[in-house]
Structure 1
Amino acid sequence: MTEGGPAAPGPSEGRGSRALGNRGVLVSSASTVLFFAIVAVVVVLAPGSGIVAERFFDPSHLWQSLVGSVGLPSVLGAFWLNVQIFMVSEVFILILALVIAVVRGIPGPVFFPFRLVAVAYTDLFRGVPLILVLYMIGFGVPGLDLGFISYLPDVAYGVISLVLVYSAYVAEVYRAGIESVHESQNAAARSLGLTRWQSLRFVVLPQAIRRVIPPLLNDFIGLQKDTALVSVLGSIEAARAAQIYGASEFNYASYVVAALLFVLITIPLARFTDRLIARDKRRREAGALA
């Protein structure tokens, strides 16, 4: 006598599902190839395609702008400044944003002024465009004559602006992660004798940060691209180096080189984010089935 329950799929059903999966892969591949073929035909047959190819994709200009020449900066060398700005800004953003998120969640009337400042900070810097913050910090702080603070290099003001703006966004990501942890976790920690800060540090924050890693990586993909805006303060990073080359040689291949360098950084980060999201989804589905 057998127990009741769903029957296991037979061989014919397994073959049918595999056939449907293979058919879906073929259809998606064919549609992708067709789409890019149409785009290529439109670009090649466009009346000005020859001019565009000469001004944007000339091999000699692509190489010369990449490595640099006498009197002209290298886009590749300037891109290293973008990477440095990104790495330094990321460290300060992670720290400052976490502090803001924690402050916004502190209960009690005594901490109301701190919560108010944290809310005002996030509202302000999420509402003002980054480029305006760059102008105000980069040209306003030097005019205040605050000693060495008013004589920092342009890159430092760029980093400060990026940290101020992105910390507001990342703080909200952190806060969403903290609020996603069920209150029973905090209550259980308090019942074991942990203080509020200990339960936050050892119970709530580890779970919250693990849950928000994918959206954090998405924010940092945007941060990597926005490092190009630091050029408005005079720093010669990849976008500014490409602009200098284009203005000097009357050729825009340098912009293509700069764009490809950014893509080489952002695509691996995007795929890594997708993998983390998929892994988290599988983990949650496995937990639900268990």
Structure 2
Amino acid sequence: MTNTTAETAWQPSELELSRRALRRRATTRSVLIAFLSSIVLIAVVVIVVVNTPGWAVVQQTFFNPEIALQSVGPVFQGLLTNLLVLVIAAIGVAILGTLLATLRSLRGPVFFPLRALAAAYTDFFRGIPLLIVLYLIGYGIPALMIFPRMPPAFWGTIAIIVTYSAYVAEVLRAGMEAVHPSQRVAARSLGLSHAQTLRIVVIPQGVRKVVPALMNDFVSMQKDVGLISVLGVIDAVRAAQLQVADTYNYTPYVVAGLFFIILSWPMIRFTDAVTARLNRREQAGGVV
């Protein structure tokens, strides 16, 4: 009897039902309008491009179906190298970036040399282009002949790690500094050491605050992994370049670009979803 009464009490009113129906109709209408406007825009762009004087030459040079099918296999094999480098670089960036952010967050004058060293590192590698870092590490370090001979992919991975660690370290540092100081004070009052406070209290909260920015850095790294081709690594970009040299046609570059889009698109959508979820969580209860 009590359950029946409770269910009856929580049923929406007729006014609320009408409002929900109105919102559903408005949402459906908005989706239809957006879909139709997108179709119209795409149709206009296609018509304009196809009717340009040089479209026939561009289509043959960049969108040749036969050459595209021939280049799919070699480019995909090269993409596997990009994926391997990406996974290893992501792990290395996470470790080194966290270490740099931790060094920059150390308190006290005794840690000034470490803070200055971490700051100089991040300033240097955020200011120098990744392409130059690839040349310096990929050709400069092997020329010293102090390390055993390593494949170019190894040095390319190192270059990506040392460059993107600087960006990730600054993002993590911003998230850690956004944690209210009272969190540190409360942790220390409970008997936690400085290292325990960072590991248990500050870093987890700081990471949650900068998850979208970290994901965007990862998406950028997915694309920049293709730059290791300048060291002679047979990755997707280099494989496409070899196909272009054989066919005198730029379609393999388009195939490589599509592979990178397919690789990045799920992470981009996942980043948007996580960002929207965090925004809803922060705004929960704040809408009047």
TM-score by length of 2: 0.91
CA distance in 2 between counterparts of 1:122 and 1:9 reads 58
Which secondary structure does the structure 1 equivalent of 2:53 belong to? coil
1:41, CA displacement in angstroms? 0.7
Are residue 227 (structure 1) and residue 225 (structure 2) matched?
yes
Question: What is the rounded CA distance, in whole Å, between the counterparts of 1:282 and 1:132 in structure 2?
Answer: 41
2:153 aligns to what?
155
Distance 2:109 2:15 in 1: 61
Partner of 1:276: 274
Alignment-derived partner of residue 119 in structure 1:
119
The residue type equivalent to 1:252 in the other structure is: Y
Match for residue 57 of structure 1? 63
Moved more, 126-135 or 180-189: 180-189
Counterpart in the other structure of 1:81: 81
| 1:50 Cα offset (Å) | 1.7
State which of 166, 169, 172 in structure 2 corresponds to 1:168: 166
Aligned to 2:204: 206
Report what 2:47 is aligned to.
41
Query: Residue 70 of structure 2 aligns to which amino acid in structure 1?
Result: Q
CA-atom RMSD in angstroms:
1.9
Residue identity matched to 2:184: N
Percent of aligned positions with the same letter in both sequences? 45
Instruction: Tell me: CA distance 1:256–1:184, structure 2 relative to 1, closer, same or farther (3 Å).
Output: same
Q: Give the 3-state SS of the residue equivalent to 1:141 in structure 2.
A: helix
**1:16 shift after superposition:** 3.8
Q: Once the 2 structures are TM-superposed, how far is the Cα of residue 19 of structure 1 from its aligned partner?
A: 3.5
The Cα of 1:175 is off from its aligned counterpart by: 0.6
DSSP 3-state at the match of 1:107: coil
- State the AA in 2 paired with 1:210: R
Q: Which residue of 2 aligns with 1:95?
A: 95
Q: Deviation of residue 12 (structure 1)?
A: 4.5
Tell me how far 1:21 sits from its aligned partner: 2.8
TM-superposed CA distance for 1:241, in Å, is: 0.8
* TM-score normalised per structure 1: 0.90
Worse-matched range after superposition: 16-25 or 259-268: 16-25
Deviations 1:196-236 (A, max 9, x none): 21111111111112222221111111111101111111111
Residue 9 of structure 1: how far off its partner (Å): 5.8
Runs of 5+ consecutive residues of structure 2 not aligned to the other structure: 1-12
Aligned-residue offset at 1:17: 3.5
Whole-angstrom distance in 2 between the partners of 1:137 and 1:157: 6
From the superposition, tell whether residues 192 and 147 of structure 1 become closer, same or farther in structure 2 (CA, over 3 Å).
Answer: closer
CA-to-partner distance for each residue in 1:132-171, whole Å, 9 max, x for gaps? 11111111112212142xx221111101110111000000
1:257 matched to 2:255? The reply is yes
- Structure-2 separation of matches of 1:122 and 1:283: 32
* Equivalent position of 1:71 in the other structure: none
CA-to-partner distance for each residue in 1:109-130, whole Å, 9 max, x for gaps?
A: 1100000000000000000000
- 1:45 is aligned with what amino acid? N
Q: Is the alpha carbon distance of 1:285 and 1:147 closer, same or farther for their aligned partners in structure 2, counting shifts above 3 Å? A: closer
What is aligned with 1:177?
175
Residue deviations 1:222-275, cap 9 Å, x none? 111101111111111111111111111111111111011101110000001111
Q: Distance in 1 between matches of 2:16 and 2:90?
A: 52
Q: Distance in 2 between matches of 1:81 and 1:170?
A: 23
Q: Report the Cα offset of residue 10 of structure 1.
A: 4.3
Q: For structure 1, which segment, 103-112 or 52-61, has the greater mean C-alpha deviation from structure 2 after superposition?
A: 52-61
Q: Which amino acid in structure 2 is aligned with residue 159 of structure 1?
A: T
Counterpart Cα distance in 2 of 1:122 and 1:287: 39
Task: Give 1:34 deviation, angstroms.
Answer: 1.6
Aligned to 1:4: none
Distance (Å, rounded) in 1 between the aligned partners of 2:146 and 2:85 = 23
Q: Distance in 2 between matches of 1:110 and 1:104?
A: 13
